[in-house]
Amino acid sequence: MTDALVKAAIDILPKAYAPYSQFQVGAAIQDEEGRIHLGVNVENAAYPVGSCAEAGAIAAMIAAGGKQIACIAVAGRGAELCTPCGGCRQRLREFAAPDMEILVCDDKGLRKIFTLETLLPHSFGPNNLD
């Protein structure tokens, strides 16, 4: 499934709407049923009203009835790794366990794998409210 998730994130990347930054991001989430949900970043002239690719993929998962993120691939171009921003790390935590894998890609393929715990240590999540 890793290969399919990486391919989906890379394939959706060109559909991002980034006329201001020119920095396109694609995301592909695998939910608890194995379904893939896609998202892209969408910028807005009234900056910073845009939305991140990860947020779009999460919304697509929820709209399709998914409840839990099993894995996510995030694709962006450039020499630096395109990891989820701080806000998206917290968004992911709402629907994923700390050991969930984040597959960081560029437009050519997988570059690095992180766990959510690595990118968001000692996170505050739904379990804190039980």
- Residue 108 maps to a domain: yes
pTM: 0.95
- Residue 9 maps to a domain: yes
- Print the domain residue range for 51: 2-122
Whether the predicted pLDDT of 127 surpasses 90: no
Q: Look over the chain and give the mean of its residue pLDDT values, rounded to a whole number.
A: 96
- Residue 71 maps to a domain: yes
- Residue 100 maps to a domain: yes
**CA distance to 2, 45, 65, 79, 121, per residue, from 71 (Å):** 8, 32, 16, 23, 17
What is the mean predicted confidence (pLDDT) over 2-19?
97
pLDDT in tens, 43-63: 999 988 999 999 999 999 999
Q: What percent of the chain has pLDDT over 70?
A: 100
Active site residues: 54
Which pLDDT score is estimated for 55? 98
Say how many domains are in the chain: 1
- Residue 47 maps to a domain: yes
